[in-house]
Amino acid sequence: MSHPYESFMREAAELAERGRWSAAPNPTVGAVLVRDGVAVARGWHTAYGKSHAEVECLKDAEAKGVDPSACTLVVTLEPCNHQGQTPPCTEAVIAAGIRHVVIGLRDPNPKAAGGMERLAEAGVEVEAGVCEELCRDLVADFLIWQTTKRPYVMLKLAMTLDGRIATRTGHSRWITGETARRQVHELRANVGRAGGAILVGGNTLHTDNPLLTARLDDPVERQPLAVSISSRVPAPDSLLLFKERPTETIFFTTASGAATPRAAQLRERGVRIRGLDRWKSGEDLVQILEYLRQEAGCPYVLCEGGGRLGLSLLEAGLVDEFHLHIAPKVLGDNDARPLFDGRTPLELDEALSLRLVRMEPCGEDGHLIFRPVRACSQA
């Protein structure tokens, strides 16, 4: 049986999404004030350093002449109980006279936790765990930032109906249609806006020669960093990245590759070259991601391929969100390049499992979003 405030929690979650990318490194949060079964005020955390969702919701109530004390507050994340960039939301809720608060997820940040207890001490009736998994997904990025030293990692790939990412000759333009490609550029723009990076493997770098920029009709305020991993150090004039975006490019290679004359020439142009102590050991991906977060300041990394790098990230448990675009095309060729290849499982329980969280049409293509199964059982 559904909770009586479930629909309002889902509305609050939709509001929270409006603050995605601008709220980082804070969590995205939405709030709704409900009176007599109707949402009468709304708010969300619009940007880092700005008022939190609860306060924005109270401002909306004031502007509409709504008395908060006659309402139930529905909020996706436990109201904070500490002084940070903004005052504690618990005190604003108590001061507004609200007597009933419905929470989606308890705050995983120990500095901000304790909001439920503070509200209860003030005589507020508090319920928690409504649409908890949905609300946990809302702050999946924040959970990664709180518990690891790496960025939140999104994997984006496109395939045909029969699971191919290119023909046997490597031709892949274009698997998906214009709508899906525009959606990807919007995602790139948002990653760049938040100070993140686009990551590709060596095969994609050398074969596609990409710029890894967001290209939209409107000007993009900040392009994402371009990051690649390859054991082969290219000549400085061989790739667009090194000619047109050298100071926005980070190139990871072997320790020996980083000491070559070509690497020195790239550094002279402003490319950041990083040699890895361990290569293809599994530890290299962690080393790369931690560098991008700790040294380059990237809260988000969007990996756009290829399939080999994507599989390596999945096997290492480093994919937090997987966007898969499926084109209604069939190649029907066993020698065409598959989405993933290289594993040798003998039984189905050896498969890498994911959790489908969204499925939607995207022009003539399909867009599926997956998350790790492990998130289902997190407390």
Residue 71 CA to residue 99 CA, distance in Å, equals 8
Residue 356 CA to residue 350 CA, distance in Å, equals 18
Q: Is the separation of the CB atoms in 206 and 312 below 8 Å?
A: no
Q: Are strands 225-229 and 125-128 parallel, antiparallel or unpaired?
A: unpaired
Tokens of 193: 């806006």
Q: Which residue ranges make up the annotated binding site for NADP(+)?
A: 158, 174, 204, 208, 231, 306-312
Count other Cβ atoms within 10 Å, centred on residue 103.
24
Q: Which residue pairs, CB below 8 angstroms and at least 24 apart, start in 276-279? A: 276/252, 279/231, 279/254, 279/255
Q: Which residue ranges make up the annotated binding site for Zn(2+)?
A: 52, 80, 89
Q: What single-letter DSSP state applies at residue 124?
A: -
Residue 53 CA to residue 75 CA, distance in Å, equals 8
Q: Which residue ranges make up the annotated binding site?
A: 52, 80, 89, 158, 172, 174, 188, 204, 208, 212, 215, 231, 304, 306-312
Catalytic residue among 54, 56, 248, 321: 54
Q: Are strands 152-160 and 125-128 parallel, antiparallel or unpaired?
A: unpaired
Q: Which residue ranges make up the annotated binding site for substrate?
A: 172, 188, 212, 215, 304
The yes-or-no answer on residue 6 being catalytic is: no
- Residues marked active site are found at 54
